[in-house]
Structure 1
């Protein structure tokens, strides 16, 4: 698909076809996800990809029994690494080798900054990793739809339950998001229906000064159109 079609036609889908998602398609999706931007290019994300029925059932129990966790052939747990320095050595060596840093002294200075981030309180490190890992999760959903694979982001889950269910170290990793993946069912209304209302650009973009819109009302023409459809 063209980029514009990907971002404007993607829907959050709850109904999936009874069809497995081939491993090569999953790999192709994540091949693009790994190019997501992140702070210092530290890439603080891991993806637990669940294709086994029993393991998706285990995730469903930690996701307040939401049916599409098991109805989709794949569920992904997006995990953010709360240690900014976890992959810093490889990242900074690459910077130095490719000329992004002028010398080893500059590399060591940046490393010191990253290690300083790693010493921050846990809550600050949680916020840091959620920011970058959410970007990667968005790339995941768009990359999937480019392959014709539907998705649904899920914030409704018990983080501790997810950590316990899959023996993930909660001191190091933050469950950021769940994402279901699969080919959409033919009856998936999420895909076929007209796109839901999106606020216009002139309401969400503020040039030079921030003047937020306190409340939003559906435009009169949209109300009339919805009434006509009924």
Structure 2
């Protein structure tokens, strides 16, 4: 069944209830580049700070390259079993694309040109004036947003995922020539489960929520 057919009619609340982290994948199941691009196209609809969309993706779908990644990811077996590993990265200098992003908003009729010009100027000043650590914080938050949207989109398409924080970020950057302005956020394995993910307990809303003040 095509991914677009799987997508139709899927209940959102079923998706969030049924999504579990999967660590054992069917290595014979291969995703095409078009399928991966379709998945990423859904993911990038996520919100981001000032709509600067700092996420960048390194998609690893070649088996030999997955083998190269595996020791960097502490030999987790899903790295070589899953159809692809998507390294989610955040660009600390995403503000440098502000003019392009807001300019497209003008072209699409979403905002007038003077508003786009003002937003570009503010974004370049604000984000460009931040220190590297604050830029990193913004990139990590927005990277988390796009990662969650990616995983939910995958589940809606009948696929499975697992977010992976267990990897050597410095080795990843060195081995794959990641630009130094990029921040590794996480790896996400995507493919078809060979074994279902396990349900896991959650703290109740009352255990994690305060109202109006602590």
* Structure 1 Cα separation of the partners of residues 74 and 208 of structure 2: 32
- Residue 98 of structure 1 and its aligned partner are, at CA, apart by 5.4
**What does 1:1-230 correspond to in 2, within 5 Å?**
1-17=10-26, 18-97=28-107, 101-104=111-114, 106-116=115-125, 117-170=127-180, 172-185=181-194, 188-190=195-197, 193=198, 195-210=199-214
- TM-score, structure 1 length as denominator? 0.82
How big is the alpha-carbon RMSD for the aligned residues of Structure 1 and Structure 2?
Answer: 1.7
- Residue 87 of structure 1 and its aligned partner are, at CA, apart by 1.8
2:92–2:183 Cα contact (<8 Å) kept:
yes
Deviations 1:148-205 (A, max 9, x none): 11101001111111111111112x11111100011011xx142xx4x21111122222
Gaps of 5+ in 1: 211-230
SS of equivalent residue, structure 2 residue 94: coil
Gaps of 5+ in 2: 1-9
SS of equivalent residue, structure 2 residue 101: helix
For the pair shown, the structure with the greater C-alpha radius of gyration is 1
1:12–1:150 Cα contact (<8 Å) kept:
yes
* Structure 2 Cα separation of the partners of residues 142 and 37 of structure 1: 14
SS of equivalent residue, structure 2 residue 89: strand
SS of equivalent residue, structure 2 residue 41: helix
1:84–1:118 Cα contact (<8 Å) kept:
no
SS of equivalent residue, structure 1 residue 36: coil
